[in-house]
Amino acid sequence: MKVIHTQPIAGQRPGTSGLRKKVTVFQQPHYLENFVQAIFDAVPALKGGTLVLGGDGRFYNRVAVQIILKMAAANGVAQVILGRGGILSTPAASSVIRKYAATGGIVLSASHNPGGADGDFGIKYNTDNGGPAAEKITEAIYQHTTRISQYQISDAADLDLDVLGSFSVAGMAVEIIDPVADYAVLMQDLFDFDAIRAWFAAGKRMQFDAMSAVAGPYAVEIIEGLLAAPCGTVVNGVPLEDFGGHHPDPNPAHATALIAAMSAANAPDFGAASDGDADRNMVLGRNFVVTPSDSLAVLAANATLVPGYRKGLVGVARSMPTSAAVDAVAKALGIACYETPTGWKFFGNLLDAGKVTLCGEESYGTGSDHVREKDGVWAVLFWLNLLAVTGKSVEEIITAHWARFGRHIYSRHDFEGIASESAEQLMAALRSQLPELVGQTLGGQEIHLADDFAYDDPVDGSHSAKQGVRIIFANGDRIIYRLSGTGTAGATLRVYLEKYQADVTQDGVEAQLALAGLIDISRELAKITAFTGMAQPTVVT
Ligand code: G6P
Ligand code: ZN
């Protein structure tokens, strides 16, 4: 074992979902090592404990795995459970932590951010519930990075990551597992695989775009293997270090090939995509895109059709910017609906305390209490299960849902690559207007509430302030503004727009048209063009 002297490197505070930086930043001497040592220092239980390790296979994944194995050995970790090839999707890592009662896990991913030598890399710590560490722990890790003076690393040789079995790194046990097997068992517990197999056998077709990211092996083994969907159902199914140049973010702006396939004359019945680490999902019908907020609401409304949720839901949760579509379902079901800040970690306490069964976010994340991460392949299987047992199309399921609950027309406009200072100024100017806004009329609607969202966790009482500016009109229309916490270059302003439409005869209206008035108000109120120089968003979802 070697003790290496180092010094603090600025900027290692984890964001919405771990520490994410350019690969070139991680490649700096001691950068990864400092952060990993800070994890071991902040979580003493790892000494003598079991650590789950894996990532989405992006560039630098294998290098990081070798470093972490050697540092884990030197820091007294008893056992590492590692996905073969250094691969574990984020939800699979969560399920493995839970299944083997590990102390925690290190997940290597920058999620939906592009990969490759010039792309992004990321690392985050998950606790023994399988979920992202709460802010108390990420903050402790950060504090250690600001004081670090040395790290421990073994001088053992590199381990062959591609062979299953039991190994040793400097006396530490390493179990290399099949990254898909445990996860596939869990999915079979939750979903009606026979019904889905029959749906495929009857000639229904699907396209799953794994975007050359980590969902590939999971989708191939489960959908083409266990569910016997025709070969070729999964496209871009081999994970590549640079995701084949794709931007592995499953939304209409980035999954353009899937959108095109689903609007072609011979489109399959069902389309789906997931992101770099397979925790996000987008679902589509023929010529029909489902918004993530609607998807969550549909899963909640139909949960009892699925074996794993047959007993019903105890409650649901959504992030604040996510539309209130699921609120309407919760109301009808007579169950609680929680509104949390953006970031999956906020769902962890609610899930652990048994207060919610399903949760989701507008950012293409949906999940349940089966793990403590959002889960892309799970969401796709949930939809397949619904399609199989109802015999309906995606569009029929959604329009029936709107007819019952009304439609929450929704869109998100992102303004990317803003200078951080300008973005902060924009938000500050917006916040300073808040006290005068209530009672004012804009676009013919009175503003009912104008505040900066704050959250008091009902389980541990922790308080999270400044989680996004909310402008809510008397008719329920909403405009939300917040700065992204996951970018690695400059700032991204996200503007979330929502309008409730009870009148089902209006259901087919295109979202951008229906939201045009709100969009104009959102631009003027925040003086977006003046602060950013941008007249139009860079991404619309
Ligand atoms: C990650 C997190 C999500 C979050 C999303 C967007 O995927 O796991 O919980 O909603 O990023 O975060 P951002 O701060 O970029 O809006
Ligand atoms: Zn992700």
311 and 230 within one domain: yes
Contact 458, 383 (CB under 8 A): no
329 and 476 within one domain: no
The domain containing residue 413 runs over which residues? 407-540
What is the chain's Cα-based Rg? 23
Relative to beta strand 463-464, strand 491-501 is: unpaired
Structure tokens at 455: 């959250």
329 and 295 within one domain: yes
Helices first, then strands: H and E counts in the chain = 18, 27
208 and 356 within one domain: yes
Catalytic entry in 109, 111, 295, 363: 111
**Per-residue pLDDT band at 506 (split at 50, 70, 90):** low
d(CA 268, CA 474): 41
Torsion sign over Cα 244, 245, 249, 251? negative
**Per-residue pLDDT band at 507 (split at 50, 70, 90):** low
Pocket test for ligand 1, best of 19, 111, 361 (most atoms within 8 A of CB): 361
How many domains would you assign to the chain?
A: 3
207 and 157 within one domain: no
pLDDT at 15 over 90: no
Sequence-separated (6 or more) residues with CB below 8 Å from residue 361: 292, 318, 319, 321, 322, 342, 344, 374
pLDDT at 362 over 80: yes
Residue 508 Cα, ligand 2 centroid: separation in angstroms?
A: 30
Residue 274: active-site member: no
Residue 261 Cα, ligand 2 centroid: separation in angstroms?
A: 23
Q: Could you tell me the CATH number of the domain that includes residue 66?
A: 3.40.120.10
For 53-103, the pLDDT digits (tens) are 999 999 999 999 999 999 999 999 999 999 999 999 999 999 999 999 999
Proximal ligand: closest to the CA of 363: 1
The pLDDT of residue 253 = 87
- Per DSSP, helices labelled H in 264-338 are 292-301, 325-333
For 213-259, the pLDDT digits (tens) are 999 999 999 999 999 999 999 999 999 999 999 899 998 889 999 99
Write the burial class of residue 541 (CB in 10 Å: 0-12 exposed, 13-18 middle, 19+ buried).
buried
**Per-residue pLDDT band at 486 (split at 50, 70, 90):** confident
Mean pLDDT to the nearest integer, 347-354: 95
192 and 218 within one domain: yes
Contact 95, 370 (CB under 8 A): yes
For 24-55, the pLDDT digits (tens) are 999 999 999 999 999 999 999 999 999 999 99
Task: Report which DSSP code applies to 307.
Answer: G
130 and 96 within one domain: yes
For 98-153, the pLDDT digits (tens) are 999 999 999 999 999 999 999 999 999 999 999 999 888 999 999 999 999 999 99
d(CA 33, CA 54): 16
d(CA 155, CA 160): 15
The pLDDT of residue 485 = 80
CA-nearest residue for atom 2, ligand 1, is 343
Q: Which atom of ligand 1 lies closest to the CA of 280?
A: 7
Percentage of residues in the chain with pLDDT exceeding 70?
A: 99
ipTM tops the 0.90 cut: yes
Q: Could you tell me the CATH number of the domain that includes residue 446?
A: 3.30.310.50
CB atoms within 10 A of CB 130: 25
